[in-house]
Structures are given as structure tokens and as C-alpha cells.
Structure 1
Amino acid sequence: MEDISAYIESGILELYVLGDVTPDERQQVEAAAIKYPKIKAELDAIEKAMESYALEQAIEPSEHQRNRVLNSLLTNLADDKIFTKARIYTDDEDAKVVQLPARSVNFYKYGFAASLFLLVISIVAIIGLYGRLKQSTELITSLQSQNQRFSSQVNLMDGQISVLRDHSFRFIKLKGTPKAPASALTVAWSPQKKKVMIDMEGMKMPANDKKHQYQLWAIVAGKPVDLGLFDVKADTSGMKEMKAVEQPQAFAVTLEPRGGSVNPTMDAMMVISNI
């Protein structure tokens, strides 16, 4: 494993602890934990952290619910009239009321009390388990969201690296016009693949508003060709693929109404460069 820290930060260890991995991923994590003590230590730390989090977030039953159930239990225990007498009829015309043996009465009374007590304990346990389950579900959802973000970042970095390693790409630096002299943008163009990419992270362009978008143009045989739209925000990053083009003579970017224009607005040209 080339980079243990990157493997730990990928989020796979958290998903392993939660059981949200494939059999192959589980086998990979276990093999890595045996081979690398740092990964084993991180796994132990994650398990302890999740266990502590679940215990801290356990939901206790409300005082009102607990008092209500216990009061009901005490009321039934105090009502001896329920258990002391039973009506038994003989063959005679007149019915006689007889007393049940004290041992039998006590047995049923305390048996009922024990059952009710177990019911109370079960209700309390269920409420606690429900609270822990809810917290665990929220934690899993959060970890899955983080894992998706990590995956997107990794894919983005892979795309950038693939462009840098591909020697068929040429990098053209577009410089600012008098309208925006401080602006700059790098365009990566592959003549063999007819592929065009723009460096969103390294660009120096003012952020556009909601009514406008930037539009990339290629000058082909003296005519402008639309290569697509893009927005510039504070968190803009990565490489963005634009429309393909053959044999461009120059690249330029204009600020157009949202949705783009058929022809470039020349007085809104931000950056330009010949190839």
C-alpha cells in the first residue's frame, strides 16, 4: 500500500466498522489491518468512538412515561379485591361465596406483578434501543455522504492527473483583455482527441452573477464556434470538459446572458489567445 494515510482518510474504515462494505472490501480492510499496525490502531479508535457516541446519544424514557407505568403497577398491587374472592357455584339452588386459598391468591397476584414489571423493563429497553438505532442511522447517513464526497474528489483528481499525463494535450494560456486585464484562463486542447478542457481551479476570472455566464469560443477558419458555458464561483475547482473542436486558430471567453449567445459579444470579451 503506497499511502496509508490516504487509505485511512478515504472513509473505508468507517464503512467497515458500520458493516457497509462489500465482501471484497471487508477482506481488503482486514488484510491491511493485519499488515499495517497504523490501520489496525485507526480501526480500534473508530470502533471506540462510535461506541462512545452511541452511549452518549442513548434516549432515556421521559419522566412522565416512567411515572405513569409505575403508578399503574402500584395501583394493581394494592387492589386486593381483584384477587381475594371468586364466586363458585354448587349444585344447590343457592350460590355460596368461598375463599380461595391464600397461597393461590398470592401466587397469581405476585405473578401478575412480576409480569407487569418485566413489561415495564421491556418498554424502557425498547425506547433506549430505538434512540440508539435512530442515532446510528443518522451517523451512517453522514458517513455515506462523506464517502460520496471523497469519491467525487478522488475522481476529480484522477481526471486532472490524466490530462497532465496525456502528452497529446497542449496548454494555451488565455490573457485578459482591456476589459478585464487581470483575468486569465488555461485551456487544455488535444489535437488528436479533439478534446477541450479548461482549468477551473487555476483561472482568474471575476465571479459571474445569476443573469450571466461565461462562454468559451474557438475561432475556426475565421469564424467563432461555441464550445460551451461555465460559471465562476468561490468554490470553483477541477478541470471542466467543454465541446470538441477541430483545428482552432484561437480561444476566447466572453460574458454572455445566461444560456449563452449565438455569436460572441465582442465588447464583453474577457480573455483571448492565439494558438
Structure 2
Amino acid sequence: MDTKDYIASGILELYVAGSLSEKENEEVHNAILKNPELLAEVESIEKAIVHLTAATKKDASYSFSSIKNQLKVDKTKVISIAKPKNNWKQYLGWAAAFILGSTLILSVLQNNKLKEQVATEKQQLEEQIDKASNSLAEAEKLIDIFRDKDIISVPLAGQKVSPNSYAKVYWDKKTKSIYLDAKGLPEPPKGKVYQVWSLKLSPLTPTSLGTIDTFTADANKIFTIENANESEAFGITLEPAGGSTSPTLEQLYTLGAVSS
């Protein structure tokens, strides 16, 4: 095993903490005597434990001066290091403090993350409940409107450009608005929008009721549109984005007359 793998194995931390067996302790001790990199790593581990212990317990002070005094280098650069066996309880205490501190920090971080997750999920749930409540309220409102005997229902049939298309207008003269059910229209091509028209038939006079810019995004395809006109018919054309001043008859998708 090379030096890097030896250090990465974690055995030096166990050595410093005094958690190795007598045989393992002897083997690591001999390895440190032969390898300056291992000695430097042991000193680094010891310093890290001291800093952590000082941070977690302010009234405790530890020094490695007694250990450093035992580290001697002779003229032939042969390293002599005392075995930590006699201080294993002290090392073990430091290691325990290190583990405890790390565990507490991890626990706090996980707890904060959990709180953030719960708060996010709570907000999402509240938004879903609000959305569902609003959707239910809108659905109930539409049902009441569609069942109202004073509401004028106008079916719009598909035309030459799109024979399979269809739509339906529910005209509430009291509120001067229409409810357009456009579920039977295909998705408009990119750069195009559907435009709704109120028509007078004699002479033929179209009045724009606006474009359906949210057609693709609206799942229900039911749109509320203001209509203060005395409409005799309704039509829907496909127009360039932004709409047109007059209907493009070649792109007339649906058309329906108001029953007299």
C-alpha cells in the first residue's frame, strides 16, 4: 500500500485516537518511523483535533508540547517517535469530541434542510388547494351560467378551412359577456392566434371581440369575453399574432348564427 492509500485508509486517525490493537499500533508506529509523510499526517490530525476540541469546549485547553518533546531527529535523520499508548484515553476523548461535534453540526444542517423542505411543500400544498378551490368555484359558476334559461346558446360549426372544428358561445346579455367553449378548435400554429368576431348580418359587419392569446396554456379552453354588441352571429378566424382589423375569411374556422 502506497503512502496516499495508507493515509486515506483512516488508520492514522485510529492510531491517534488509540483505537488500534497492540499489534496494529506497533505496525503503524513502525511505519511512521520510516515515512516522514505519515509523521506529518499524524501531526496534522492531532492539530485538527485540538482546534475542534477548543471550539466545542472553551474551558478546556490541550497542548502537544509534551508529545513534540518526544519527537527527536538525530544527525542521521532517524526519527524517534513515542507511541501514543499511554495517552490513548486523552486521544479517544478528543476523537469523541470530534465525532460528537461533527454529528451535531450535521444534525443541525439536516434539520434546517428538513424545515425548508416542509415549508416549501406546505406552500405548494396551499397553492394547490387555492387553485383547486378557485377551479371548483369557476366550474360551479359556469354550470350555473350554462343552466340559466336566459343564457343564449350559439353553436359554431366548422368551416371549409377546418370542417372538423367546432365551438360554442354562451351569451349573457345581462352582463354583456360571452363564455366561449373552444375545446373543438385545434392548437393554433406558431405565430398565429384565434380571433373572435361579433357579426351583424345585414349588412355583414364584423366587430372584433379580441384574440385568444392564452388558448394553448388554458387546459379547459373556456374563455370569458366582453360583448356589448347586438350580435346576430359569432365567428372565429385564425389570424397573425396580435390580431387583425378585419377577419381573414379564408381562415374562418367556425361560424354560428344567433337563433331568433
Instruction: Give the TM-score normalised by structure 1.
Output: 0.55
Per-residue deviation, 1:136:
1.6
Deviations 1:154-175 (A, max 9, x none): 2331332231232221111011
CA contact (8 A) 2:197 2:236 kept: yes
| Partner of residue 244 from structure 2, selected from 232, 237, 261 | 261
Going from structure 1 to structure 2, the CA distance change for 1:129 and 1:234 (only over 3 Å counts) comes to closer
Going from structure 1 to structure 2, the CA distance change for 1:225 and 1:75 (only over 3 Å counts) comes to closer
Q: How does 1:1-275 map to 2 (within 5 A)?
A: 72=49, 79=63, 122-200=104-182, 203-220=183-200, 222=203, 223-231=205-213, 232-233=215-216, 236-275=219-258
Going from structure 1 to structure 2, the CA distance change for 1:121 and 1:256 (only over 3 Å counts) comes to closer
Going from structure 1 to structure 2, the CA distance change for 1:246 and 1:80 (only over 3 Å counts) comes to closer
Per-residue deviation, 1:199:
1.0
Q: Distance in 2 between matches of 1:246 and 1:185?
A: 19
Paired residue total: 183
Going from structure 1 to structure 2, the CA distance change for 1:163 and 1:206 (only over 3 Å counts) comes to same
Q: Which blocks of at least 5 consecutive residues in structure 2 are unaligned?
A: 1-9, 14-44, 54-60, 67-89
Deviations 1:184-203 (A, max 9, x none): 11001123332211013xx3
Instruction: Give the TM-score normalised by structure 2.
Output: 0.57
1:164 maps to amino acid: F
CA contact (8 A) 1:207 1:234 kept: no
Deviations 1:47-82 (A, max 9, x none): xxxxxxxxxxxxxxxxx9xx8899615996874659
Per-residue deviation, 1:179:
1.8
Deviations 1:103-161 (A, max 9, x none): xxxxxx9xx97x95775554343223222223223322332332243234223313322
**Aligned match of 1:98:** none
Q: Distance in 2 between matches of 1:168 and 1:75?
A: 80
CA contact (8 A) 1:255 1:270 kept: yes
Aligned residues: percent identity? 22
Q: Secondary structure at the match of 1:146?
A: helix
How large is the RMSD of aligned CA atoms in angstroms?
3.8
Q: Secondary structure at the match of 1:273?
A: strand
Per-residue deviation, 1:216:
0.9
**Aligned match of 1:60:** none
CA contact (8 A) 2:156 2:234 kept: yes
Q: Secondary structure at the match of 2:196?
A: strand
Going from structure 1 to structure 2, the CA distance change for 1:235 and 1:69 (only over 3 Å counts) comes to farther
Q: Distance in 2 between matches of 1:71 and 1:135?
A: 33
Q: Distance in 2 between matches of 1:138 and 1:147?
A: 14
Max radius of gyration: which structure?
A: 2
Q: Secondary structure at the match of 1:181?
A: strand
Q: Secondary structure at the match of 1:198?
A: strand
1:205 maps to amino acid: L
Going from structure 1 to structure 2, the CA distance change for 1:70 and 1:156 (only over 3 Å counts) comes to farther
CA contact (8 A) 1:212 1:255 kept: yes
